[in-house]
Every structure is written in C-alpha cells, then in structure tokens.
Amino acid sequence: MALWFRESASPAHRLEWKIRQELYSGQSPFQSIQVLDTEQFGPSLVLDGIMQTTTGDEFIYHEMLAYVPLLAHPHPRRVLIIGGGDGGLAREVLKVPGVEEVVLVEIDPVVVEVARRFLPQHTVALDDPRLTLIHADGAAYLTDQKTEPFDVILVDSTDPEGDGPGTVLYTPAFHQALYEGLADDGLYVQQTGAAFYNPEVVEQVSHSVVTRFPLCRVYWCTVPTYPGALFTFTSGSKRYDIQKPSTPLTWPTRWYTPQIHQLAFALPPYLSQRLPETVVTAQKGPNA
C-alpha cells in the first residue's frame, strides 16, 4: 500500500507526495519535525505539517534567496541569516566572494540536528570557520545585538502561521529592527510565501518595508514543492537597487543566472496591483 504525505494549500486544494518511508518524526519545544523520503524529491523536511525543503528542488529557493541580494551588494562582508537551520542558505551564501563572516540564528536546535543527520546536502557549510551558529529567537537577537552592523540580512523562516516561530518575523517592529541592524548601505531579503494562495503576506510586508527603507523590491521564482509554485521574496535596501547584479557570477549554479536575476523582478499584474506604487513603478523600468 502506497504511503502519501498530504498538505493543504487552501481549504479547496491539497498537495500530496508519495513517500518511500518516514526517516524521522519528533516534537521540539517549538514545532513538530518530520523527515520524509519522498519518491519524487528525495529526503524532505516537514515542520508543523508543512513541507519546508526537499533535496530535489531546494537549490532553486536557496540560490535565489542568497545570490540576488549578495550579488547586488558590492561588498557583502558580514551576513546575518535568521532561520535557515537546515543549512542550505548558508551553503550558498558562503560561496559568494567577499563574504567573511556569517552569523546564523536558528531558534530550534533540533532542526539543525535533524538536518545534519538526514539532509547532508544542505548542511555541508555548517562547519565552515566563517560561520557562527547561534540558537536564539531571531527577532530578539536582532534587537539585542550590539555588534558591528550587517551588510546583508537574509530571513529564511517558516511562514507566519498562527503562533508559530516565524510569525514575529513579518511584523513592522521586526522590519524596524532589520533597518537598525544593517550598515548604512545594507540590505535585507525575506521570503514572503506563495503569492497565488497567500498574496496578503507579500502585500503586508512590502507596505511595511516601504515606510522604513528607501528602496523596496519584490521578486519571485518557481519552486515545484511550494503551493502554487510561484514563490516571492521581499527586500529592503538603504542604498543599492537589487534588480541588477553588480558582482559577476564566477562559480557554477543550478538555477541562478544574471539573466534570471533581472527577470525575477517582472511581476504579473495580479501580484503587482497589491504592492506599493513606488515598488511597481521602479520594477517596470523607465522604458515600460
């Protein structure tokens, strides 16, 4: 008898993955955690019943969250990752020339432990000497940290579901903390979810970001395992417009290219009509 993992994208739409076996199932103080060996995508991490990352298509999400901001910043020396305990984002960040220090703040140590055991493709960079792993609340860390400001902050969190650990990372107070934690020319990016099913997330975040940052941009990619496939990211920048890379790509990638970088900012009308006018106008370009 076939085993299937089922996730609800909406009350009227469900996604299913055929499962070879359950590799891990447990409960941390923060969330339920599973690792499922899926037939199509390989070992996959599930948090609170929601598919987070798979070995089959994780490269798309992680390359786009890392390279779009880091290659748009001319000197991303110091990088903060909030969330991302599976390690995939850190792996990509540490490939970028000029990155000297990465601080990864993951609230749930069990996520890291489980990823090390079952997702070695993700965690290859967690022992890099340039990386410091801290188990703490990302929002609290950003508010309390008194160290040198960061050039780039990347927020790789769960979605804002109820009282889940990711919810606080979508609030105006958190966006203010991001602004204060960045250098004078710093920028940040966070994932803002599946635009077809939850467009209110990117709408709310972008309207919050434009009140705090001189530049706000929204871009997207397609991730097969995420509901609706079209997945969005929202950025705030103090100086640099992240629509065009300023640093050349000198290493092999599986998804990201300089052309994809620029095309990712072309927004479909059903999404752009929800965003602040300054964002839409800037992303249309002068010849639109």
Residues marked active site are found at 156
Binding annotation for spermidine: 62, 86, 156-159
Read off the tokens for 1. 């008898």
Give the distance between the most distant pair of CA atoms in the chain. 58
115, 85 contact by CB (below 8 A): yes
Q: CA–CA separation, 20 vs 3, rounded Å?
A: 7
Q: Binding site, residues? A: 31, 62, 86, 106, 137-138, 156-159, 165
DSSP 130: T
> Which residue positions form the known binding site for S-methyl-5'-thioadenosine?
31, 106, 137-138, 165
What is the spatial distance between Cα 188 and Cα 30, in angstroms, rounded to a whole number? 25
Helix (H, G, I), strand (E, B) or coil at 31: coil
Under a CB-based contact definition with an 8 Å cutoff, are residues 111 and 104 in contact?
no
- The dihedral through the CA atoms of 209, 221, 273, 8 has a sign that is negative
DSSP H or E run through 14: strand 13-27
Cα–Cα distances (Å) from 227 to 93, 194, 201, in that order, read: 25, 6, 14
User: What whole-number distance in Å separates Cα of residue 95 and Cα of residue 231?
Assistant: 23
H helices then E strands: how many in the chain? 9, 12
Contact predicate 90/123, CB 8 Å? no
